Amino acid sequence: MSDLMRLDRFLVLTGAAKSRSDAKKILKNGLVQIGDRIEKNAEAHVNPDSDRVLFRGREITYRQYRYFLLHKPQDVISATKDRISDTVLQLIPEADPEKYFPVGRLDKDTEGLLLITNDGDFAHRLTSPRKKVYKTYFARITGKPAEEEIRKLESGITLSDFTTAPARFRFLKSDGDESECLLSISEGRFHQVKRMYQAIGHTVLYLKRIAIGGLTLPENLKPGEYREYTREQLDEAINGSDPQTV
């Protein structure tokens, strides 16, 4: 729930006014309504969550925190700014890179579901290994993993710098030379999925994140496209059953 906010500040934050003095002019001209009432006082207060504010007859909204689900394409990096490569923030013009950031990282050559927000608590909840939110990756790998190797993935593998937590694995198909599999992990160390497969003797040829908890990448969202969600929508989806448990 947001706190009450002065109306002139609200008009600036929603983009209806360029500055507080501009907001005062707009108000004086009777262009702003709160519900059915024309409000001319810049010092009036509004509740951004519950008050219906109209500017020139059209509703304007302000949300303190916003959440974007991006289908990250290959060749863009999970950073806010970079001098050399394109970044995921450049794909979301409405998200100011000074304030918004990706929730965790995907490698430059990894595609798939990436959340972008300005809500640090939300991001922490999804990325902290202690919260046990499983991220599911579709991978095409070399060869075909043997039962014994799969057991290692599932129980934990000692890599050079840490031992992975138990993971969930599902074999999808193989032509002998290459296989397609799902792997869900609750951590997100650097190159973790690629390193886990490498540790059991298989190289990742293609990697795509398809889910965070029960939140799945929408099928009709193409690489480079994004969609805005509310916090409530995301929480409900993330807490739902993930692709490995259905």
Of 80 and 136, the one with the shorter C-beta distance to ligand URA is 136
- Given a contact cutoff of 8 angstroms between Cβ atoms, the answer to whether 67 and 232 are in contact is no
Buried b (16+ CB within 10 A) or exposed e, 6-33: bbbbbbbebebbeeeeebbebbeeebbb
Q: From the CB of 209, what's the least distance to ligand URA, in Å? A: 6
The answer to whether residue 192 forms part of the interface with ligand URA (CB under 6 A) is yes
Site for ligand URA in 71-130 (CB under 6 A): 106-107, 110
Choice between 66 and 209, CB closer to ligand URA: 209
Which residue, 69 or 193, has its beta carbon nearer to ligand URA?
193
Cα separations in angstroms, 108 against 26, 100, 112, 124: 46, 19, 11, 22
Burial (CB < 10 A; 0-12, 13-18, 19+), residue 50, is exposed
Rounded least distance, CB 228 to ligand URA, Å: 23
**Residues between 198 and 237 with contacts to ligand URA, criterion CB under 6 A:** 207
Stretch that binds ligand URA, among 13-21, 24-32, 44-52, 188-196 (CB under 6 A): 188-196
Cβ atoms of 112 and 154 within 8 Å: the answer is no
Asked if residue 193 binds ligand URA (CB under 6 A), the reply is yes
Q: Are 173 and 181 in contact (CB under 8 A)?
A: no
User: Do 192 and 183 contact (CB within 8 A), yes or no?
Assistant: no
Q: Which residues are identified as catalytic?
A: 107
CB of 153 to ligand URA, least distance (A): 13
191 binds ligand URA (CB under 6 A): yes
Q: Which span (6-14, 57-65, 69-77, 189-197) binds ligand URA, by CB under 6 A? A: 189-197
> 197 is written with which tokens?
């497969």
Q: How far is the CB of 76 from ligand URA (least distance, A)?
A: 12
Closer CB to ligand URA, 106 or 211, in the complex: 106
Under DSSP, is residue 43 helix (H, G, I), strand (E, B) or coil? coil
Q: Of 12-20, 30-38, 158-166, 190-198, which segment contacts ligand URA by CB under 6 A? A: 190-198
Tokens (6 digits) for 213: 């908890």
Shortest distance, position 135 Cβ to ligand URA, whole Å: 7
Cα gap 165→135, rounded to integer Å: 13
What is the phi-psi region of residue 12: left when phi exceeds 0, alpha when psi lies from -120 to 50, beta otherwise?
alpha
Footprint (CB under 6 A) of ligand URA, residues 128-157: none
Q: Are 180 and 173 in contact (CB under 8 A)?
A: yes
Binding-site ranges for ligand URA (CB under 6 A): 106-107, 110, 191-194, 207
